[in-house]
Every structure is written in C-alpha cells, then in structure tokens.
Copies of this chain bind each other. A is one copy, B any other.
C-alpha cells in the first residue's frame, strides 16, 4: 500500500520503519533533516511539505505529532493536509491530543469527504520499535476495519473505541488513572516501608489483594521490587514524568470542557508539575516516589 507519514520523532520514525519493513511504500515528511535521511536510507520517499505528502499517490496518511497545535496546523493550515489530500485517502492521526481537537479535525475531514481515525498509542518507544504498540482507535467501525492491517504492522493490540475522538478519550482516561494509581502506589509503598515492612513483602501482599494495579505489579515505583522496572535502574528510560504531566493536562482540560470533576486527576497533575518544577521531569514517571522520600 502507498502510505504518507508526517512526524518522524522518537515514536513516528520507528513506526514508519515498521511500515517499510512490512512492504509498504512510504512517503515521509519531518522538519528534522537527519531523520528524513535515515528514513530515506531505509527506502522511504521524501516529500517537501505536509501538503506534498497529502497530494502524493497514497491510500492512507498517518500523522504522529507532539500536540494539538501541531495537529491543527498540519491538517487545517493553509498549506495543510486537508487542503491538498484526495478524497480516497484514509487519514489516521496517532498523536496524543485532546478529544475536542480530534473531533474538530475529524469533522472537517468528514465535511470534505475524507475518512479519518484518531489512533493514539501506548507502549512507548520500545513498543514503537518492536511493533508492539497498543492503538486506541476512534472513528467509523468500517473505516477501522480497513485500517486494521496497516496498524497491525506497527502494533499488537488494536482496540476499537467507538466514534471519532474516542481513541483519545480512552487514552486520556486510562493515563489519568495510571497517573493516579502510580502516585497512590508510591505513597502506599513509601508508607509501608517507613512503618517497617520489607518492600518486596508489601508488594507481594498488595499484588494478591484489592490494592493491586499495574503500577504495583509491573512497574512498582519502589527500587528493587520489580527487577525490570525503571525503579530498579534509577528511574532511567521508560515513560518520562513530563509525558505523564502532558497527558494529565489533557485529561483535566477534557474534564473542564466536559464539566466533570477529576479531583484526584488534578492532584496527580499538580504533583507531577511539582516534581517537574523540582527538576525531575526527564525521569521515568514512577520516580514520583522521590517527591516524598529520597531514599
């Protein structure tokens, strides 16, 4: 298949490479010249602008951008995708952005006859490289079915979430809960150890009890409990605290727009902002335990 790909950052570049590996023909665009060259060396074809990607001979166009402002610009700008793309091209935005913007862009695409999906991912750069990302996909279900084989070249778990924007809703809701339970896990582990328990014993009890969550089982924030977790290597790598902060910002903004309270979600956002303001935004997000105790 002929596929356009705009946004070749830490996530986008390995995703595009996986499309090439799967035998697709890929047109690429990014502002960073070196990344474009790397993709060219792997067989991609360079385009000079988003509009040039959009007007190439493609069946599908995927975008992977940092934030809502870039998505609006790339799709809706004067020299953007929608102004240049043919009606037959299926549009997929894999950026993590707020659901409202995702729905606005999808509505404008629909108005001019283009099918569009929002398909944010989880799984990090490791998952992007291994082709094991989870895609949370919003849009028409028949369109989802058409996109599925291409998404499967980049991910392992492709989940249909309902209408336009619902991929973003699912991601924002999941990650808000993740941020909350990670801080909860950090507080519970820190409290228990301060009161005299062995961290592994405590984690073992929680993990067979009602407090168990992904943050205690797979990604325990206390050093030495889970050998493969960032906590056991100084909180290097993984999912950065600043990325969690960004997602919590999307969650509280979406809640503000929807007029629903997210008391714990907002507290989590503020604690991650405090952690980041203290200079730790590049650490893995499980490092938030250091806000409370630096042992």
Contact = CB atoms under 8 A, between A and B. Distances in A.
A88 interface: no
A105 to B, nearest CB: 16
Contact of A274 (B214, B256, B292): B292
Interface residues of A, number: 82
B162 A208 contact: no
A174 B253 contact: no
Contact of A176 (B180, B191, B196, B261): B191
Given A184-B184, A195-B254, A198-B162, A273 B293 contact: no
A146 interface: no
A56 interface: no
Contacts of A172: 191-192, 195
A180 B181 contact: yes
A216 interface: yes
Contacts of A159: 204-205, 208
Contacts of A190: 260
Main secondary structure of the interface of A (DSSP, over half): helix
A184 to B, nearest CB: 4
Contacts of A256: 249, 253, 269, 273
Interface stretch (A3-11, A16-24, A163-171): A163-171
Contacts of A191: 169, 172-173, 176, 251, 254-255, 258, 260, 262, 265
Contacts of A249: 256
A266 B183 CA distance: 12
Contacts of A277: 259-261, 292-293
A262 B270 contact: yes
A24 to B, nearest CB: 27
A263 interface: yes
A185 interface: yes
Interface string A177-204: 1101101110111111011111001101
A41 to B, nearest CB: 34
B214 A211 contact: yes
Contacts of A180: 180-181, 183-184, 187-188, 264
B293 A196 contact: no
Contacts of A183: 180, 263-264
Contact of A268 (B198, B253, B264): B264
13 contacts: A122-B209, A157-B208, A173-B191, A173-B192, A174-B205, A177-B206, A187-B263, A209-B214, A213-B215, A260-B273, A261-B273, A263-B271, A264-B268
- A-B interface, 8 closest residue pairs, ranked by CB to CB distance from nearest: A213-B213, A180-B184, A177-B211, A173-B192, A174-B211, A177-B188, A266-B266, A263-B270
